[in-house]
Amino acid sequence: MVDVAFQSGSAVSVAEQVDRAKVLQKLRLGDAAFRHLTRAAAVTVLVILSGIIFSLVYGAWPALQKFGFNFLIEESWNPVTEHFGAIAPIYGTIVTSLIAMLIAVPVGLFIALFLTELCPLWLRRPVGIAIELLAGIPSIIYGIWGLFVFAPFLQQHVQPFLIAAFGNVPVLSTLFEGPPYGIGILTAGLILAIMVLPFITSISRDVFEAVPPVLKEAAYGLGCTTWEVARYVVLPFTRVGVIGGVMLALGRALGETMAVTFVIGNAHRISGSILAPGTTISATIANEFTEAVGDLYTSSLIALGLILFVITFIVLAFARLMLMRLNARLGT
């Protein structure tokens, strides 16, 4: 009887061990498959990025070989004589993005602070939904609205005021000189500010809400005002998320195409006045790529795309370096 029981127990024990071994083997296979899948996804991103870089360099090489460094500093853009320079689109891209960020960053942060610190509960949801709807509007709608509504408003009311107000002020008189066209670099910058505002506001609001309430309560308990809590508690705690949102918005501003194309005027020249028409890299490519005749013309447009890629890379690298320095200074 004892031998039978022992044999039965041994059989059960062996069966359990076999089942356990099968489960462990299944888990190991699943873990290995997951590891290889995630690695393949990461490698795929690198392969795609490398392919994009190679395609841009290969397509831009004839123009870069023909014009050399002069391609980056010359203003002329003449498809008839096949003489191209990229400084005007580069200037327009940087200036319109700078105008957009100078307006959108403080406004977006103030809106996010209002929603998280001051806004009544019954108003938070409608305002949040309105901001998210702004992010969902197609860029071509912004462009049409900017051309037929916003630009005439600026031409009739805002730009004449700016010309009259700053006409006798050094530096600013040059910045706001010329006739009020309505369309131009300033109009494109304002449209971009409206377009990137939801990204800054939404991301900043989310990271502000992640601040531990005990930190803010402690600051209020010490007698801090709402502004002091936002400046010394909320913003330092969420600096990484805020900078990430700003960089995302800047990337959108640098690469925006259709809305800018409608309102910037598409003029290949550099003017000291932000009221004058101009162009950007994206607008130039969108306007002329389908009409490009000849390998050199097409290569010059691809070279503009390569320059935009490099500008975006430099901006992201600078943002990363700034975050590293902030963390090192604060000892985190």
Name beta bridge partners: 78. Answer: 83
In this model, does residue 6 exceed pLDDT 50? no
- Checking if the pLDDT of 332 tops 60, the result is no
Contact (Cβ atoms closer than 8 angstroms) between residue 206 and residue 160: no
**Bridge partner list, 81:** none
* 73 contacts 90 by C-beta, under 8 angstroms: no
Q: Which of 13, 86, 21, 152 is nearest to 311 (CA)?
A: 86
Residue 135 has pLDDT above 70, yes or no: yes
Question: What pLDDT band is residue 330 in, cutting at 50, 70 and 90?
Answer: low
Q: Which two tokens stand for residue 146?
A: 């900017």
Q: Where are the domains of the chain?
A: 1-67, 75-330
pLDDT beyond 80 at 218:
yes
- On the 0-12 / 13-18 / 19+ scale of CB atoms within 10 A, 297 is middle
User: Which residues have C-beta within 8 Å of that of residue 282, sequence separation ≥ 6?
Assistant: 93, 255, 256, 257, 260, 261, 308
Q: What is the pLDDT of residue 186?
A: 93
Radius of gyration for the chain, computed over Cα atoms and rounded to the nearest angstrom: 28
Burial (0-12, 13-18, 19+ Cβ within 10 Å), 45: exposed
- If we measure between CA atoms, which residue out of 254, 101, 269 comes closest to residue 178? 269
- φ/ψ of residue 265, rounded to 5: 100, -20
Average pLDDT score over residue span 191-207: 92
Helices marked H in the chain: 2-67, 70-73, 87-113, 121-136, 139-145, 151-153, 159-165, 172-175, 185-209, 213-221, 226-229, 235-237, 239-255, 258-263, 281-288, 295-330
Which residue in the block uniquely carries the two structure tokens 């501003």? 253
Amino acid code (one letter) for 311: I
Round to whole Å and give the CA distance between 203 and 173. 37
Q: What CATH topology corresponds to 75-330?
A: MetI-like fold (1.10.3720)
Q: First CA to last CA across the chain, in angstroms?
A: 69
Are 252 and 280 a contacting pair, CB within 8 Å?
no
Condensed to tens digits (0 to 9), the pLDDT of residues 243-282 reads 888 988 888 888 888 899 999 988 888 988 899 999 999 9
